[in-house]
Amino acid sequence: MIRLLKAWNKQYASPAFSSHNLTVWAWEFVQSGTGLARAFSTVLSDAAERVSSGAATTDPAGVSPNVRLLQSRNVAVKRLRVAADGLAMALRHDDDRDAVSSGLSKVFFKYLDDPAAVGVERAVAALRRNKPISTALLGLAGTSAVVRPTRAYGESRYDR
């Protein structure tokens, strides 16, 4: 679980937490016998509460000063909350592969694509190549329709 925390933190160009900080939280917040996903979720949400409140994370050995954040408190809280919310969404919908993938893509944004965004990205790429696309590709409900590319000037090849 600590490796997952470190991988999540290292996605950012400037991580907000030291490895020591993440390890201390893992030992402090996780109860024995908790599964990996729940433990990861617990650390993210409990750490978000702690950082948000301004409470200190003390060195468990009591030999060093309090553990410091590597970014501002606002940045650290935002990162923790986005990841905690994404993981909570994945856990709430553990029977829906797309919902789990979407939730985990918010946690591990550098490694996982959000399935909903992939369709939109393909649609935008098709429009940039001047190709018609289906509304189904955009994830729109209802009867499928073709969206033809348009131009701000002149005649499109589809107008002929």
The pLDDT score that the predictor gives to residue 118 is 61
* 57 Rama class: left (phi>0) / alpha (psi -120 to 50) / beta: beta
Average pLDDT over residues 80-85: 96
Average pLDDT over residues 107-125: 75
**Does the pLDDT at position 14 exceed 70?**
yes
Per domain, the residue ranges of the chain are: 2-112, 113-160
The pLDDT score that the predictor gives to residue 139 is 58
How far apart, in whole angstroms, are the C-alpha atoms of residue 111 and residue 8? 10
Task: Look up residue 113 and give its DSSP letter.
Answer: -
**Does the pLDDT at position 109 exceed 70?**
yes
Strongest mean pLDDT among 49-53, 94-98, 132-136, 138-142: 49-53
Tokens found for residue 132: 């018609």
The gap from C-alpha 151 to its chain's centroid, in whole angstroms, comes to 35
Antiparallel, parallel or unpaired: β 133-134 and 146-147: antiparallel
**Does the pLDDT at position 82 exceed 70?**
yes
C-beta of residue 81 within 8 angstroms of C-beta of residue 48: yes
The pLDDT score that the predictor gives to residue 107 is 94
Tokens found for residue 67: 């553990």
What percent of the chain is predicted at pLDDT more than 70?
72
φ/ψ of 142, rounded to 5, equals 95, -170
The pLDDT score that the predictor gives to residue 135 is 59
How far apart, in whole angstroms, are the C-alpha atoms of residue 37 and residue 92? 11
How far apart, in whole angstroms, are the C-alpha atoms of residue 108 and residue 3? 13
The pLDDT score that the predictor gives to residue 62 is 83
pLDDT band at 91; cut points 50, 70, 90: very high
